[in-house]
Amino acid sequence: MQHQETNFFKEQLRTGEALYLPSISVDCVIFGFHAGQFKVLLLKYKHNNKWALPGGFVYKDEDVENAAIRVLNERTQLKDIFLQQFYLFGDVERSKEKHAEKLLQEEGIEDIDAHWLQQRFVTAGYYALVEYNKVKPVPDALSSECTWHSITDLPDLIIDHKQIIEKGLQVLRRQLNFQPVGYNLLPEVFPIKELQLIYETILGKKLDRANFQRKILSYGILDKKEKHYSGGAHKAPYLYSFNKESYFKALENGLAKEW
Amino acid sequence: MQHQETNFFKEQLRTGEALYLPSISVDCVIFGFHAGQFKVLLLKYKHNNKWALPGGFVYKDEDVENAAIRVLNERTQLKDIFLQQFYLFGDVERSKEKHAEKLLQEEGIEDIDAHWLQQRFVTAGYYALVEYNKVKPVPDALSSECTWHSITDLPDLIIDHKQIIEKGLQVLRRQLNFQPVGYNLLPEVFPIKELQLIYETILGKKLDRANFQRKILSYGILDKKEKHYSGGAHKAPYLYSFNKESYFKALENGLAKEW
DNA sequence: TTATATTGTGTCAAGCTGACACAATATAAC
DNA sequence: GTTATATTGTGTCAGCTTGACACAATATAA
C-alpha cells in the first residue's frame, strides 16, 4: 500500500508536466486549536527531514481552489473544510532554494535539470480552519510524518513556508470579525472560555473574561445548552453551540464591536 | 510611434512563450476618486470594442507584484503607486470565453490554436489607489482608449473582469480601516468633506458630517492648514493634509472605531 | 444687501468599554 | 465528610463613544 502510493507519486512526478498547470502550486495552512494553543499541520519530507506545508499542484482542468480542497482532504481525511485563499506568493526569489532538486534525486528521477518541478513556481496560500480532534493526519508519499505543530514553536521549514504561515495568521487576525473562526475550530458544543482562548490567541492579547462573555452573548449567536461540563475542581460552565443562522448573518456585517 | 508600439506588441505575442511565466497574468483595478464618485481605469480593445482591466504577464525572472507595477506605470504614467494584491482568480471556467482567439486573429498571428495566449490563465487581482488628477491614461497597443469609468456605471467587460472589480471593491471595503485610502486617493491638501465622501462611497452609506469630522480628527492623523478653500456660495472649510507618520502608525492597528 | 449653502462647534441621551467585585459551585485534598 | 481551590455567572460603575440634532459663522450668488 505504502509502496503503491510511492509509485503513484513517482509516476506523477514523471507525468506532471502533462497533468498540471505549469508554474503554479497551492499551499495550505491548516489551523487547529488544542489545549489552548493554535496548531498547524505540517509534513516532514523524507529526503531532507525538513518540514513543509501540505501543498500540491493544479490539474489543467481544475479550479485552483479545488486543488487546495484536494490537498486538505488527503491530509486530514475531512470533507467540507472551511477554506480561505489569502495570498499569492509570487516572488522570483522563492524558487531559488532548489528544494526540488534533492527531492528528484532522492526519488530516482532522471533528467533533473529539465524537470518541470525545477521550474519557477508561484504558490497560492490557503488557510483552513478545522476541528482538531476530527483530523486524522496522513503523510503523503514523499513524507514520513504529518503532525500538528504549535505556531509558537515551528520547526525548520522549506523555502518561504514560515512566511506563508505568518501571512496566513496575519490575514486571519484582520478577518477575525468576518470569518466563522469559532464555528470551524471548535466542536459542536463548547464552553465560552474556549472561544475566548481562540480570540485571545488570534488577537495576541488577554481579554477580560466577564466582558468577553457579555459581548459574545450580546450578538445572539450562541445557544445555551442544558448540559454541563465536567472538568477541573471548580464551578462547571454552561456549554454553548453556535446558532448557525444568526452567526452567519452577523458575520456578513462583521462582529463590529471591538475586542 | 503608434505603429512601432503595435509592432513591439506583435513581437511580444509571438515570443511571449519564451518571455513570460506560463498560465499566470495580473489584472489591475485602478481606483480614482473624482466629483464625489469612485472610478476605475479601463481599456477598450480594438478588436472587439469590449472593455477590460489593464493587465499583463509576468516575466520569467520578475516578481508577480512587479508585473502589476509595470502595468500601472504604463497605463497611468505614475510611479510609486499604492498597490495591493487582493485575490487570485483561478477557476477553469474563466478561460472559456476564448477572448484571446479573436485578438490573435485580428493581430494576424498564425498558429492560433497552439498559441500560448490560448492556454488557460489564472490571474492575480491587484487594486491600486491613485490621485485622479495626476493620472495621464495611456492605452496599450491593443486598445483604442484608456478612460475612467464610474463604478456605478460599468460598460461591458471581457471574461470575469466585472467580478474582479467587484471583488476588489469588497476587499477594499473590508480593509478600509487598515489601508491609506484617503492618502492615496486625495491630493496633498483637501477639505474633510472629500475624505468623508470617500468613506461614504466605500462603505455604501451616508455618514453624519459632524460626527465624521470629530472622529477623524480624534485620531490625530490630520494636520490643519491655514489656507482656505475656494468653492461655492458658503462658508469655506479648512484644508487638511495627512500627517504621514501618525497616519501610518494608526493604520497598523486599524482605525478601530466604527463609522 | 440679502439669500443660500455649507462649515465649525456644541449638546445630550443612550449605549458600550474596561476594570473590578462577589457569591456560587464542581472537584481535589485532607 | 469537610475544607480548600479554581473558575464561573452575574453585578456595578465611571468614563468614553455614538448618533442625532442644534445653531451661529461665513463665502459666494443673486
Question: Which ipTM did the prediction report?
Answer: 0.92
Close Cβ partners of B204 (under 8 Å, ≥ 6 residues apart): B173
**Of A172, A143, A177, A193, nearest to A30 (Cα)?**
A172
The ranges assigned to domains in chain A are: 2-177, 189-252
Question: For residue A2, what pLDDT is reported?
Answer: 46
Distance CA A93, CA B213 (A): 45
For residues A82 and B58, the answer to whether their CB atoms sit within 8 Å is no
Q: Which range among A232-241, B82-91, B99-108 has the greatest average pLDDT?
A: B82-91
Distance from residue A212's CA to nucleotide D8's C1', rounded to whole Å: 13
Distance from residue A152's CA to nucleotide C15's C1', rounded to whole Å: 38
pLDDT band at B57 (very low <50, low <70, confident <90, very high): very high
Q: Which three cell numbers stand for residue A176?
A: 477575525
Question: For residue A233, what pLDDT is reported?
Answer: 85
Q: Alpha helix (H) ranges present in A42-160?
A: 64-76, 99-106
Mean per-residue pLDDT over chain A, rounded: 92
Question: For residue A3, what pLDDT is reported?
Answer: 52
Closest residue to C19 measured CA to C1′: A208
Which residue in B63, B91, B254 is closest to A90 by CB distance? B63
Is residue B3 scored above 60 in pLDDT?
no
Is residue A256 scored above 80 in pLDDT?
no
Q: Any chain B CB within 8 A of the CB of A17?
A: no
**Of A42, A47, A159, A27, nearest to A103 (Cα)?**
A47
Chain A residues within 8 A of B203 when measuring between CB atoms: none
Distance CA B123, CA B93 (A): 12
Is residue A1 scored above 60 in pLDDT?
no
User: Which 8-state DSSP code applies to residue B136?
Assistant: -
Distance CA A23, CA A106 (A): 22
Is residue B1 scored above 50 in pLDDT?
no
Task: Determine which of A24, A25, A26, A88 to mutate to test the interface with B (most B C-beta atoms within 10 Å).
Answer: A88
- What is the mean pLDDT of the segment spanning A228-240? 84
pLDDT, one tens digit per residue, over A60-74 is 999 999 999 999 999
Which residue in A64, A93, A258 is closest to B90 by CB distance? A64
Q: Distance of alpha carbon B94 from its chain centroid, rounded?
A: 20
b/e map A128-145, b = 16+ CB within 10 Å: bbbbbeebebebbbbbee
Q: Which three cell numbers stand for residue B49?
A: 470594442
Give the rounded percent of residues in chain B with a pLDDT score beyond 90.
74
Distance CA B131, CA B26 (A): 22
Topology of domain B189-253, per CATH? Arc Repressor Mutant, subunit A (1.10.10)
Close Cβ partners of B235 (under 8 Å, ≥ 6 residues apart): none
For residues A20 and A119, the answer to whether their CB atoms sit within 8 Å is no
Which residue in A23, A62, A122 is closest to B92 by CB distance? A62
Contact B122 A21 (CB under 8 A): yes
Question: For residue B96, what pLDDT is reported?
Answer: 83
Q: Which range among A85-99, A158-172, B12-26, B104-118 has the greatest average pLDDT?
A: A158-172
Distance from residue A234's CA to nucleotide C28's C1', rounded to whole Å: 10
Is residue B233 scored above 90 in pLDDT?
no
Is residue A56 scored above 50 in pLDDT?
yes
Q: Any chain A CB within 8 A of the CB of B124?
A: yes
3-state class of B189 per DSSP? coil
Distance CA B55, CA B190 (A): 31
Nearest-5° angle of CA A89, CA A90, CA A96? Answer: 100
pLDDT band at B54 (very low <50, low <70, confident <90, very high): very high
Cell 508519499, residue located? A141
pLDDT, one tens digit per residue, over B171-191 is 999 999 999 999 999 999 999
Which CATH number applies to B2-177? 3.90.79.10
- Say which range, A108-117, A245-254, B89-98, has the weakest mean pLDDT: A108-117
Close Cβ partners of A42 (under 8 Å, ≥ 6 residues apart): A51, A52, A53, A54, A146, A147, A148, A149, A154, A155, A157
Q: Any chain A CB within 8 A of the CB of B59?
A: no
Close Cβ partners of B119 (under 8 Å, ≥ 6 residues apart): B22, B23, B95
Question: For residue A5, what pLDDT is reported?
Answer: 56
Distance from residue B239's CA to nucleotide D28's C1', rounded to whole Å: 18
For residues B32 and B135, the answer to whether their CB atoms sit within 8 Å is yes
User: What phi and psi values does residue B29 have, to the nearest 5 degrees?
Assistant: -95, 105
Task: Determine which of A26, A58, A89, A92 to mutate to test the interface with B (most B C-beta atoms within 10 Å).
Answer: A92
Chain B residues within 8 A of A62 when measuring between CB atoms: 92
Q: Where are the beta strands (DSSP E) in chain A?
A: 20-34, 37-45, 51-52, 55-59, 82-89, 122-129, 143-150, 222-228, 238-242
Is residue A232 scored above 90 in pLDDT?
no
Query: Which CATH architecture is the domain A189-252 placed in?
Result: Orthogonal Bundle (1.10)
pLDDT, one tens digit per residue, over B187-229 is 999 999 999 999 999 999 999 999 999 999 999 999 999 767 6
- What is the mean pLDDT of the segment spanning B100-126? 89
Mean per-residue pLDDT over chain B, rounded: 92
Is residue B231 scored above 80 in pLDDT?
no
